[in-house]
């Protein structure tokens, strides 16, 4: 209780003296507070990734064509940023597929693709409703087709520690230099 | 004691304006996907190659949600008031020009974002209809379940779309009632659907024609099926121009519920 009080007091003082406000910045993704399950079946909100900037995209792991391309594109972005002194950028990949992409299956997929948990988090949605809301928040179009397939647009977004999207590509053939520019400008 | 609460609850329920919005049970059926490319990829006038999707039976509000009903929601959910709303969930048009002082008005609620419309339905234990559900009900005229081949019906819709709206919005329940007893699926406002971001008409015809593979995963979807039904094409083009924050003076909504 004391700790909670001190925290509130601290925020109060911060608000008075620095104009810092606990109200989320305009359009911060952290206003979206749905709970997802990560590959270890732990509940996660976007805000849980707020310590450092991170990349976010949506995929479904049974996709044989574009999703591996999305992942390799993200790896290119990570390499580019790594070469410019920004290492170990975290990646959050949220799934469209509430049926097949269970935490267990996501974990298996990560092993198969050799994606370390230190740098990658996969998120499983509990329903289509949850996935739909995140897709709208991120500006991703998608449609559930038959037989566990999804048709979707490919968006990769770079989110800063406040939850603002500071760079984004909406097409996998777009130049990834925008990510470097956005992070180095920080 | 519980009985007293239940009694009070029932009174509140009875007085609540949403009790006016009747729920209509829509029978199960199939929706002809006039918005998808024909399976046979046949450019003749024959629509029979269009995919059909099954639609389960569901409840739908017989009228669009009104401004008055939305006012009641705002009182209970102040975080959706214009001053409080998170900017992630609504753009500048949100609640713009909505005259909340006029009570018992049957003006449809518009200038509302997808997120807000969804939150409203959620507060009633309901949801927004899917594209399939909405188009299924909207295909019905006064006399036919699927009037999408009826040139008279299509002509009427196009005329509504083209009507200048200088006098603002009409009231809910004044345009027409279809065969299911659902009002104004066309002619009053545009309506939000839950998966509005599931169609892939990008607005740029260059991109539409050769559906850019780098942009979209998954095939199928994407050229328009029924070339005759220009009205439906307009709806899909309109939807794909929206994002979740879009709050537009003639875009409203109604809610549905599973059985």
pLDDT in tens, A138-156: 999 998 887 888 888 889 9
Query: Do residue B194 and residue A132 have CB atoms under 8 angstroms apart?
Result: yes
For residues B175 and B160, give the distance between their C-alpha atoms in angstroms, rounded to a whole number.
10
Cβ separation B217–A26 shorter than 8 A:
no
In the Cβ-directed half-sphere of A167, how many Cα atoms lie within 13 Å?
18
Q: How confident is the model at residue B51 (pLDDT cuts 50, 70, 90)?
A: confident
Domain positions in chain B: 68-163+171-201+234-259
| End-to-end CA separation in angstroms for chain A | 36
Pick the residue from chain A with its C-alpha nearest to B114: A136
| Mean pLDDT confidence for A25-41 | 88
Compute the nearest-CA separation of A27 from chain B (Å).
Answer: 4
Banded model confidence at residue A67, pLDDT cuts 50, 70, 90: confident
Nearest chain A Cα to B193, which residue?
A132
**Residue for token pair 């419309």:** B117
Go through A154-167 and write b for each residue having 16 or more CB atoms within 10 A of its CB, e for each that does not: bbbbbbbeebbbbb
A39-44 long-range contacts (CB < 8 A, ≥24 apart) are A39/A103, A39/A106, A39/A107, A39/A110, A39/A117, A39/A121, A39/A122, A39/A124, A40/A103, A40/A107, A40/A117, A41/A103, A41/A104, A44/A121, A44/A123
Euclidean distance between CA atoms A60 and A38, whole angstroms: 14
Residue range B232-254: mean pLDDT, rounded: 90
Closest by Cβ to A145, choosing from B88, B118, B218? B218
CATH of domain A25-185: 3.40.30.10
Between CA B13 and CA A96 the distance in angstroms is 37
Pair of tokens at residue A88:
């170990």
For residue A172, the distance in angstroms to the closest alpha carbon of chain B comes to 5
- Count the neighbouring beta carbons within 10 Å of the beta carbon of residue B123: 15
| Residue A31 CB burial class (10 angstroms; 0-12, 13-18, ≥19) | buried
Query: How confident is the model over A116-125, as a mean pLDDT?
Result: 96
pLDDT beyond 50 at A17: no
Helix, strand, or coil (residue A153): strand
Q: Which residue has the higher pLDDT, B138 or B167?
A: B138
Angle at B60 between CA B58 and CA B66, to 5 degrees: 160
What interface predicted TM-score (ipTM) does this complex get? 0.79
CB < 8 Å from A in window 215-254 of B? 215-221, 240, 243-244
| pLDDT tens, position by position, B226-241 | 666 788 888 888 888 8
Measured on CA atoms in the order A13, A16, A21, A23, is the torsion positive or negative? positive
The band of B35, judged by pLDDT with boundaries at 50, 70 and 90, is: confident
Of 1.10.510.10, 3.90.1580.10, 3.40.50.720, 3.20.20.10, which CATH number belongs to B68-163+171-201+234-259? 3.90.1580.10
Residue B64: closest CA among B9, B138, B11: B138
């Amino acid at each position: 209780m004391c700790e909670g009080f001190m925290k509130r007091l601290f925020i109060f003082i911060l608000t008075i003296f620095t104009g810092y406000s606990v109200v989320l910045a305009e359009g911060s993704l952290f206003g979206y507070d749905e709970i997802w399950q990560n590959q270890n079946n732990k509940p996660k909100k976007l805000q849980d990734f707020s310590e450092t900037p991170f990349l976010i995209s949506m995929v479904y792991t049974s996709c044989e064509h574009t999703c591996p391309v999305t992942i390799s594109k993200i790896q290119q972005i990570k390499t580019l940023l790594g070469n410019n002194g920004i290492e170990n950028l975290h990646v959050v990949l949220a799934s469209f597929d509430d049926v097949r992409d269970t935490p267990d299956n996501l974990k298996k997929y990560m092993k198969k693709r050799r994606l370390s948990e230190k740098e990658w988090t996969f998120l499983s949605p509990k329903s289509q409703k949850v996935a739909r809301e995140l897709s709208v928040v991120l500006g991703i179009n998608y449609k559930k087709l038959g037989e566990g397939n999804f048709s979707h647009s490919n968006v990769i977004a770079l989110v800063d520690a406040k939850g603002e999207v500071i760079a984004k590509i909406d097409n996998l053939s777009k130049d990834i230099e925008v990510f470097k520019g956005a992070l180095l400008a920080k | 004691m519980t009985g007293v609460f239940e009694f009070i609850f029932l009174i509140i329920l009875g007085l609540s304006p949403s009790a006016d919005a009747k729920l209509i049970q829509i029978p199960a059926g199939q929706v002809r996907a006039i918005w998808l490319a024909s399976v046979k990829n046949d450019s003749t006038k024959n629509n029979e190659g269009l995919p059909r999707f099954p639609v389960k039976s569901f409840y739908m509000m017989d009228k669009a949600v009104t401004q008055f009903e939305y006012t009641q929601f705002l009182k209970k959910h102040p975080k959706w008031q214009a001053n409080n709303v998170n900017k992630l969930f609504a753009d500048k048009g949100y609640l713009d020009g909505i005259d909340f002082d006029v009570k018992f008005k049957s003006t449809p609620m518009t200038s509302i974002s997808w997120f807000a419309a969804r939150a409203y339905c959620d507060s009633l234990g309901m949801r927004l209809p899917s594209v399939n559900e909405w188009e299924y009900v909207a295909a019905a005229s006064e006399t036919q379940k699927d009037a999408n081949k009826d040139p008279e019906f299509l002509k009427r819709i196009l005329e509504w779309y083209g009507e200048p709206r200088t006098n603002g919005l009409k009231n809910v329940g004044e345009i027409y009632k279809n065969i299911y007893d659902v009002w104004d699926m066309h002619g009053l406002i545009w309506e939000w659907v839950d998966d509005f971001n599931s169609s892939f008409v990008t607005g740029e015809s260059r991109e539409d024609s050769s559906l850019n593979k780098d942009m979209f995963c998954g095939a199928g979807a994407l050229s328009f099926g029924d070339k005759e039904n220009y009205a439906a094409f307009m709806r899909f083009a309109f939807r794909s121009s929206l994002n979740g924050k879009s709050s537009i003076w003639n875009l409203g909504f109604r809610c549905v519920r599973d059985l």
